[in-house]
Chain A
Amino acid sequence: MKRWLELPFRLLLMVAGFIFVFNLPALLGIGETLTFNLEPFWNSVKGNLQELTRIDDTSYISLFDEQNFTESYRYTMTIFCYSLLTVMGTGMLAAMLVQLMPKKISRVLKQGINFFEGVPDLMVIFLIQFFVIVLYRETGLKFLQLYGVFGAKPYVVPVVTVSFLPAMLLSQFLIKVLEEEVVKDYIQYSRAKGLSPLRILIIHMLRNIFPLFIMQLRTSIWIILSNIFLIEFMFNLPGFTKVLQLVTLRGGGFLGLVICLLLFILPLLVMEFLSLIAIKTVNRKESASI
C-alpha cells in the first residue's frame, strides 16, 4: 500500500472497530434464538456515522450541563492525578526498599507484594469500606469520608482505594526490572569502584530503567481508570462516571458518548504517546550497544 494511504486507512480501521463494537448489540437479535440481523445493524451504523458528522448538532450539551459537566470532570481528574502520583511514589519507594534492604527482609517484602497479585480489586474496595465504617462506629471520627452524598466530595478514601492495587503491581514490576539490571556489567563495575549502593540505585539504575517505567505506567493508568469507574459507581461519587452512565442509559447520542469516552481516557492517550517515545529511545540505545 502506498505510504500516504497507510495512516488514514489505519485511522479509519480504528474508527470502524469502535463503531462495530458499539453497534454489536444491534447485530445480534435476541428473540427465541440468537439471530443475525444485518439490516438493523446497518441502520444503526449509518445513524451513528451521520451523528458523528453533524458536529453542529449540540443537543447533548444540555445533558452535559444538567450534570455540571466540567465540575464532575475536574473531580474525577483530580482523583486520577492524586492516584497516579500515589501509585508512582509508593511503587518506586517499595521497589527501592526491596532493592536496598538486606536479603532476608527484602524476601519477606517481595512475598508480601506478590501476594496482592491474586487479590480481586473488589475485595480491596470492600475491605477499605469496611475499615472506614468500623472506624467511624468505634471512634466517631468522621475525617474519612466515603460516600458522595449531599454534595460531599471525598478525596482520601477514593484515592487510597484506587491506587492500592496498581501500586503493588507497579512495584512488583519494578522489583523484577531492577533485579535484571543489577547483574549488568556497569553496576558491577561501579560497585567495584566503591560507589555506595544508594548512589548506584538512584543515579544509574533508576535512570536506565526509566523508559521501562514509562511503558509500565500505561498499564497502571489503565487499571486506575477502570478502578475509578468502579469506585465512583459504588461510592456514589459525583464524578465523571455519572455523566458516562447518563449518556449510555438515557441516550445522549452517539457523539456525546464518543466525546465523553475520549475525555475519560485522555490520560491513557497521552501515556500511549509518551510510551511510543520511550520505545524509540530504548530501541536506539539497544542498537547503539553491542
Chain B
Amino acid sequence: MRSNRKTAIGSAILLLLLIASLLYPLYGPADYDKKVMIINEAGKVIGSAPFPPSSEHIFGTDRNGQDMLLLLLYGAKFTLITAIVVAFLRVIIGGLVGVFISLWAPWLKKYVNDFFTVFRFVPSTFLGIILMLPVMFHEERQISTVVVYQILMVVLIGIPSVIVFTEELTEELLNKSFITTSLLMGASKFHIIKRHLLPFFRSYGILFTVQQLLTTLQITMHLGIFGFFLGGPTEGGIVGFDEPPKSASLSNEWAGLIGQNLYDFIRAPWTISTTIVLFFLVIQVVNMIKKELEEKMAGLPQLTRMPKLVQTSTRTVGNPGPDQFIFVNEKKSLGS
C-alpha cells in the first residue's frame, strides 16, 4: 500500500489557509489596517502609501494603504472556494457527458467534438473575456447573480477538455478484457458502470479535479490581469493618480489583487510579487498532490495524450526478491 503522505500534507496546507481566511472577520480589522500617511510629532507628513514591507507590514501595503498580508488572508477563501467549486463542476458535468457519449452514443462523439472546436482554437483567456463582458462594468446588480454567472462561464471553458479526457479513458477501459467479457456475458451498461467503471472513475476523478484546479487558478489569474474580477469590480477602486480611479476587485480575491495593482508594479513591486508568490506556492502544493496521484495511477491503465500512437516498449522483467521465495516444506507447514 502506497502512502498518501504528500496529498495529506498538501490538503492540510490548503485547508489551513482556507480556515484562516474564513475566520478572518473574527480576528482581522475590517479596513485592513488602512493607513494612508505617516505623520511625525511635528505634524509633518513623512511618508505615504504604498509602504514597502517592514516589520509593521510584513508584505507592505498597496496604494490605498491596506495591509497586503491581511488583504491576502481575507481574499484567499474566494480564490480557493471558486477554484474548487469550478474544478468539481467541470469534472462532474464533463465526466457525465463523456461517459454517456462513449457508452450510449459513440456516433455522437465526433459531432460533439466539432461543436466544441472553438475551444480548441481560440485562447481560453480571450474566450473568458468575451463571455464575461456582460458583468464587467459596474452596474447595480445582485452580487450573487454575478458570481453564479462568472462561475458558470469559467466552468464552461473547461468542460470540453474534460469530456474528451473522459471519452478517451472510458474507451480505453471498455477495451479491457474483463469488461468485454462482462459485456459478452450479458451485463447491462448500468452494471458495467457500477461494477467496472466506477472504481476507476473514483481515482481518475480526483486526478482530473486536481488538474482542473490548476487550469482554473491559471485562468482566473489571466482574467484578473485584464480587469475581469471574480465578484465584479467596486465603485471606489484604487485611489491614486489615474482619473477615473482604476476599479478594484470587490472580493479581494488573489487574481483581482494582481489585476488591480498591475500598474503599480514599477513603483511598488511588493503589491504584486507577494500575491504572485502566494499563488505560486498554492499551485506548487496542488502540483505536488497531482504528481503523487499520477504516480499512484501508474498501475492503472495510463491515459495517454495521443491514443493512436506507438506503444512504449518498456521491458521490465523483474526478478522476484529473495523474500518472495518460500520453500516447499515451509509452505506445507503454513497450509497445515
Contacts and interface: CB of A to CB of B under 8 A. Distances in A.
Interface of A: 10, 13-14, 16-18, 20-22, 24-25, 28, 30-34, 117-123, 126, 129-130, 133, 180, 183-184, 212, 215, 222, 225-226, 229-230, 233-234, 244, 248, 261, 265, 268-269, 279, 282-283, 285-286
Contacts of A286: 309-310
Interface of B: 110-111, 114-119, 121-127, 129-131, 133-135, 141-142, 145-146, 148-149, 152-153, 156, 214, 217-218, 221-222, 225-226, 258, 262, 265-266, 269, 272-273, 276-277, 279-280, 283-284, 287, 306, 308-310, 312-315
Nearest to A22: B130
Contacts of A30: 134-135, 141, 145-146, 149
A14 B287 contact: no
Contacts of A283: 308
A63 B11 CA distance: 51
Contacts of A279: 308
A229 B313 contact: no
9 contacts: A28-B149, A123-B276, A212-B309, A229-B125, A230-B225, A234-B225, A234-B262, A248-B130, A265-B121
Contacts of B131: 21, 24-25
A117 to B, nearest CB: 7
Contacts of A117: 287
B315 A183 contact: yes
Contact of B115 (A13, A130, A244): A13
A247 B152 CA distance: 25
B222 to A, nearest CB: 6
A286 B308 CA distance: 10
A126 B272 contact: yes
A122 B134 contact: no
B254 to A, nearest CB: 11
A284 B276 CA distance: 47
B73 to A, nearest CB: 20
Contact of A233 (B133, B217, B221, B226): B226
Contacts of B134: 25, 30
Given A16-B115, A25-B131, A122 B308 contact: no
Contact of B276 (A25, A120, A261): A120
Contacts of A14: 114-115, 117-118
B61 to A, nearest CB: 19
B283 A183 contact: no
Contacts of B145: 30-34
Nearest to A17: B115
A279 B308 CA distance: 8
Contacts of B310: 282, 285-286
Contacts of A226: 123-125
B283 A118 contact: yes
B117 A18 contact: yes
Contacts of B117: 14, 17-18
Contacts of B133: 25, 248
Contacts of B283: 118-120
A15 to B, nearest CB: 9
For the complex of A and B, the 3 pairs showing the least CB-CB separation, nearest first, are A118-B287, A17-B115, A226-B123
A122 B110 CA distance: 35
A230 B146 contact: no
A283 B75 CA distance: 50
Given A215-B306, A229-B123, A230-B125, A120 B225 contact: no
Contact of A17 (B116, B218, B284): B116
Contacts of B121: 265, 268-269
Given A25-B131, A30-B146, A33-B142, A225 B123 contact: yes
